[in-house]
């Protein structure tokens, strides 16, 4: 039985009964039928048809085919990823086998899973692909929740950099105010954040500080500069 199974495994496109008989000419067809039935019963091989021909293929080989199919689909999905129902509907692979293959691909770091902030569904992307922000929530999310500690820390750093608490509040000349690009350079070079923050990411924090009445944005030379607003100034 072992030799028959190894022969079928080696046949990439499957083996027919005639090809098995040609490889093992001393074996009677009745004996071969019994072995094939036993392998089918133990789920070691499976049958598929190509026209009028019947092929026997190793279940191990079929799993490898399924793995390649799932990997290809996830690769095509790019940064948006695929969730479980999409994978099942596009492959017609049995549910339990899909779960087994996905776990194997995660364990071998070929794919990774995240919960989409849009619908809380587990979404799969290639391991080296950065998920789209509308899926992951961007740098401000950790485990699908806003990382409030990280956000508060950065907002405090931005406010302190823009403000000059040692000086009395005055309406400084625009030339002396902090420019948006200067602020981003400071944050990037300081190493405060372990993730790469884009200008858009920092802009979100600046807007939050403006809504809170702590900063003011002033348009200047096609961009804007920032001025810190003291609490005592805001009460005037």
How far apart (Å, rounded) are the C-alpha atoms in residues 124 and 120? Answer: 13
How far apart (Å, rounded) are the C-alpha atoms in residues 60 and 46? Answer: 10
**pLDDT for residue 43:** 74
Q: Which CATH number fits domain 61-137: 1.10.3720.10, 2.60.40.10, 3.20.20.70, 1.10.10.10?
A: 1.10.10.10
**pLDDT for residue 154:** 84
Based on the number of CB atoms within 10 Å of its own CB, is 136 exposed (0-12), middle (13-18) or buried (19 or more)?
buried
Q: Max Cα separation, the chain?
A: 103
Please report which helix (H) or strand (E) contains residue 223, including its range: strand 223-228
CATH top class, domain 2-58: mainly alpha
Q: Quick count: other Cβ atoms within 10 Å of Cβ 82?
A: 21
**pLDDT for residue 126:** 92
- Residue spans of the domains in the chain: they are 2-58, 61-137, 140-234
Based on the number of CB atoms within 10 Å of its own CB, is 109 exposed (0-12), middle (13-18) or buried (19 or more)?
exposed
Please report which helix (H) or strand (E) contains residue 8, including its range: helix 2-10
Q: Which CATH number fits domain 140-234: 3.40.50.620, 1.50.10.20, 3.40.50.2300, 1.10.10.10?
A: 1.10.10.10
pLDDT tens for each residue of the chain, 236 residues long? 788 888 888 887 888 899 999 989 888 888 989 998 998 887 788 888 877 888 888 876 677 788 889 999 999 999 888 988 899 988 888 888 889 899 999 999 999 988 775 566 788 999 888 877 666 656 666 555 556 777 788 888 888 888 864 454 445 566 667 877 788 888 878 777 766 777 777 887 888 888 888 888 888 777 788 888 865 434 43
């Amino acid at each position: 039985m072992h030799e028959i199974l190894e022969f079928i495994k080696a046949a990439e496109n499957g083996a027919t009964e005639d090809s098995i008989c040609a490889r093992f000419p001393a074996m009677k067809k009745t004996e071969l039928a019994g072995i094939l039935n036993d392998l089918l019963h133990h789920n070691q091989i499976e049958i598929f048809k190509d026209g009028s021909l019947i092929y026997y293929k190793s279940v191990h080989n079929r799993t490898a085919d399924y793995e390649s199919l799932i990997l290809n689909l996830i690769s095509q999905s790019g940064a948006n990823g695929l969730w479980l129902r999409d994978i099942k509907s596009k492959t017609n692979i049995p549910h339990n086998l899909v779960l087994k293959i996905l776990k194997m691909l995660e364990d071998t770091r070929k794919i990774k899973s995240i919960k989409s902030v849009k619908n809380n569904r587990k979404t799969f992307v290639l391991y080296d692909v950065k998920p789209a922000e509308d899926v992951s929530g961007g740098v401000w999310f950790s485990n699908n929740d806003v990382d409030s500690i990280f956000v508060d820390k950065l907002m405090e750093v931005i406010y302190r950099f823009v403000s000059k608490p040692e000086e009395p509040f005055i309406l400084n000349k625009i030339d002396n105010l902090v420019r948006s690009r200067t602020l981003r350079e400071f944050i990037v070079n300081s190493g405060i954040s372990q993730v790469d923050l884009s200008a858009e990411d920092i802009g979100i924090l600046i807007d939050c500080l403006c809504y809170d009445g702590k900063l003011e944005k002033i348009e200047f030379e096609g961009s804007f500069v920032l001025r810190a607003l003291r609490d005592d100034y805001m009460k005037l």
